[in-house]
A and B are shown apart, each in its own frame.
Chain A
């Protein structure tokens, strides 16, 4: 065995040991994350599952924890999410398409780009203050569903735009070139070839953004969404509350009964969130299958 071979053998053992060590580290990290999540879920379920039921979903809040329900908050969340999506999706996707496909690459678009990235990192409570000053006071929408939705839309717009841009950027140039080469106009290239390919990625971005909005409470508290709401909104101009605020309200009460309610509220919130994600995944798989021809 030559010297080179001997040192190679030694090096190889060291290399394999490093690789194995890294695998163990990754496994530990994953296990820790999964375990923490599992503990949280088990804890919440154990505490709250007995309260979850039709009565809980169909009752308004009450002084008596056994009679209190989540109806107002659940309706408020559904109303708010519907309007948030209606505002954020067209504006966000439109902005992403403009920035990625149409805007010239110059200092102005670079500034816009940097600022969108920065906005994605602004604490949500700042958006609450903005919403309070702009939508509640200046535009005089009051503490309504519509004012809350607009604020939430602003909050998630940067996420929608950035995810949309990334999805569009991931569409191979060769597809654009192919479409241009047969005499398609820019709009035809974007709408018929680029967008359909980017759609799964765009959808993923939208759903992540909406999932963030559904769990936010800080901006709505600042804006003055109500803590005690014994009614469901009938129009976008009605006052409202949402699930996270209701949960926060119950969790901050001293009585153990309300803590059970808070846990039950979390289960309902998770159920809404998971069904939203499920719908998005189904849609994404559908569009992916269409472009990949399976």
Chain B
């Protein structure tokens, strides 16, 4: 009885600490994206439960957790990529600059223009390097010098020097790491405000991975970045904030921990986080 009470008190305290910590983190920085009570279903299956995540401006936020815990589902909710799945249904709010992007009348095309995305496997269009970067600008009807847009995006993605002499070669002739940086350049070319990265390095070798991580750090000068990864070392290396997700009994994904990366890794509030981080499962 007393034991029960004690654990409750401890739990209570942990919860409030977590919330305080989150609040402190958020106060210090602008939140670009914020989810409030986000629930997601695929048909009858609940994939996410009550997700409250804040994405700080000009910082890297990592979402970590074991396979199947809903990391990708969550990140795809942030730019409405999940709309492409017919059985998808979301409740709750995803605020982007204080506007709920799931509200009626919000055009997902406009959302995706402002929140760019990089995918797990490099997926350049089977066209020239130039056309890959220019595509976003073309479809969005940018006015201005296309050549300059392409060059700027490629420079930002640290790819310009490697490809400047072969801009009109097919993108599929590049190496995997170069292709992924090309995909980042493609996302940058439409001048988004946030960049979502869904396990951007999982198909790359360590050298290419490091290049992308360096690039991410550089990009925080201008952009907020959300990265999904199941590589905890990567989260520890690059992320300012980390969210840990776990699967509940009914296989719905829940966020069990969220805060500055250092604290999440050195002083986790949840036993499950500690177990996961120390490699006891996952």
Contacts and interface: CB of A to CB of B under 8 A. Distances in A.
B126 A291 contact: yes
A192 B135 contact: yes
A184 B172 contact: no
Contacts, number: 80
A186 to B, nearest CB: 9
B126 A182 contact: no
A182 B114 CA distance: 9
B84 A177 contact: yes
A182 B186 contact: yes
B139 A175 contact: no
Interface string B92-121: 000000000000000001101110110101
Interface residues of A, number: 23
Contacts of B109: 183-185
Interface string A102-125: 001100000000000000000000
B39 interface: no
Interface string A154-189: 000000000000000000101111111111110010
B14 interface: no
B171 to A, nearest CB: 8
Nearest to B112: A183
A179 B125 CA distance: 8
B143 to A, nearest CB: 16
B136 interface: yes
Interface in B151-174: 169-173
Contacts of A176: 84
Contact of B190 (A182, A188, A294): A182
17 contacts: A104-B86, A178-B124, A178-B125, A179-B135, A180-B81, A180-B112, A181-B81, A182-B135, A183-B114, A183-B139, A184-B109, A184-B136, A192-B135, A192-B139, A291-B126, A293-B127, A293-B172
A193 interface: yes
A193 B125 contact: yes
A175 to B, nearest CB: 6
B140 A183 contact: yes
Contacts of B231: none
A182 B112 contact: yes
A172 B135 contact: no
B172 A178 contact: no
A185 B110 CA distance: 9
Interface string B129-145: 00000011001100000
A293 B81 contact: no
Nearest to A293: B170
A268 to B, nearest CB: 40
Contacts of B139: 179, 182-185, 188, 192
A245 interface: no
B186 to A, nearest CB: 6
A46 to B, nearest CB: 47
Interface in B56-105: 79, 81, 84, 86
Contacts of A177: 81, 84, 117, 119, 123
A105 B85 CA distance: 11
Contacts of A291: 126-127
Contacts of A293: 126-128, 169-173
Interface string A255-294: 0000000000000000000000000000000000001111
B183 interface: yes
A156 B231 CA distance: 52
Contact of A175 (B117, B125, B170, B187): B125
Nearest to A184: B139
A180 B190 CA distance: 12
A197 interface: yes
A179 B113 CA distance: 11
B113 to A, nearest CB: 3
A293 to B, nearest CB: 2
Most chain B CB neighbours (cut-off 10 Å) among A181, A184, A185: A181
A178 B169 CA distance: 19
Interface in A176-230: 176-185, 188, 192-193, 197
Contacts of A179: 125, 135, 139
A178 B84 CA distance: 12
Most chain B CB neighbours (cut-off 10 Å) among A182, A184, A197: A182
B96 to A, nearest CB: 14
Nearest to B190: A182
Contacts of B124: 178
Contacts of B84: 176-177, 180
Contacts of B173: 293
B135 A184 contact: yes
A25 B78 CA distance: 56
B111 to A, nearest CB: 8
Contacts of B140: 182-183
A149 to B, nearest CB: 35
Most chain B CB neighbours (cut-off 10 Å) among A179, A192, A293: A293
Contact of A292 (B119, B172, B189): B172
Contacts of B172: 292-293
Interface string B176-203: 0000000100110110000000000000
